[in-house]
Structure 1
Amino acid sequence: MNKTLMILVCPLLLALSQPTLAMDKRDYHAPLYEAGCDSCHDQGLNRYPSDEACLQCHDPEALAKQTAREGEEAHQNPHDSLHYGKDAPCMDCHGEHTPKKALCQECHNFDYPKFNG
């Protein structure tokens, strides 16, 4: 490949390989996108954000209250589960740029109608 073609093609390939161009974006995280990828990707762009990055904005106690269930479903709280308590890794269920299914769904058939994986 000649140098001129490489000079033109390489930046294009690099830009297309960046996850920001091919990702789903959550409207409620818009301010974070404006701040830049490293506002969440504290471990580098090729790795998931750490739980600490998520917990800068999301309070585990508030999430547990928000997703609390009643009656027979009381133990089906994804943010306060029998298996993980309030310590389930965020990225095991939630994907910012690609949809994921809830970790619980690997073994259970719980219905989480507001789940936004």
Structure 2
Amino acid sequence: MINLKAVLALTFGCFLSLSAQAVEIRDHHKEVIGKDCKTCHDNGIKQFPSDQACLQCHDVDDLAEQTARSEEDKWQNPHDNLHYGKELPCQECHSEHDTKKPLCSNCHTFKYDKHKE
């Protein structure tokens, strides 16, 4: 007779190994992050990184300056906009392992040519 505990342990082990497999890292982060998930994922926990993790390397004011637009379109800046100012959580528009569109595109049609999905 098959031992139920052994079957459960093997099943759990299979699921655990699947969740620990490597995932794609964007080219623009490969050199910095390497393969250390703890660089972005707080304590290596498999969840969205906190904004503090992003802000270790990225400065909000620098990002706002880099994405600034001309005077008539100045509030279309994804890092300093009319709705959220500089307070929008990074994960609303950015994802390291999946493609993602800017939150603004849910309602607006303007484009962000430099957005890295």
Query: TM-score, structure 1 length as denominator?
Result: 0.80
1:93 aligns with 2:68: no
Q: Residue 11 of structure 1: CA displacement?
A: 5.1
The structural deviation recorded for 1:71 is 4.0
Aligned pairs for 1:57-68 within 5 A: 57-68=57-68
Q: Distance in 1 between matches of 2:55 and 2:77?
A: 18
The structural deviation recorded for 1:98 is 0.5
> What is the CA-CA distance between 1:12 and the residue it aligns to?
5.3
The residue number in structure 2 matching 1:16 is 18
What is the distance in 1 between the residues matched to 2:43 and 2:16? Answer: 20
Work out whether 1:107 is the aligned partner of 2:78. no
Structure 1 residue 15 displacement after superposition: 2.9
* Alignment length (residue pairs): 113
Report deviation, 1:24: 2.9
Task: Report 1:26-105 matches (<5 A).
Answer: 26-30=26-30, 31-34=32-35, 36-42=36-42, 44-105=44-105
**Stretches (4+) displaced over 4 A:** 9-13
The answer as to whether partners of 1:43 and 1:49 remain within 8 angstroms in 2 is no
Residue 17 of structure 2 aligns with an amino acid whose one-letter code is: A
Amino acid at match of 2:81: S
Q: Hey, what's the Cα distance between the residues in 2 that align with 1:80 and 1:105? A: 15
What is the aligned-residue identity percentage? 49
Secondary structure at the aligned position of 2:108 is classed as: coil
Deviation at 1:13, TM superposition (A): 4.3
**Greater C-alpha Rg:** 2
Between 107-116 and 57-66, the greater mean CA deviation after superposition: 107-116
What per-residue deviation string (whole Å, max 9, x for no partner) do you get for residues 6-58 of structure 1?
76x7655433322x52x331122122133x11111116533100000100100
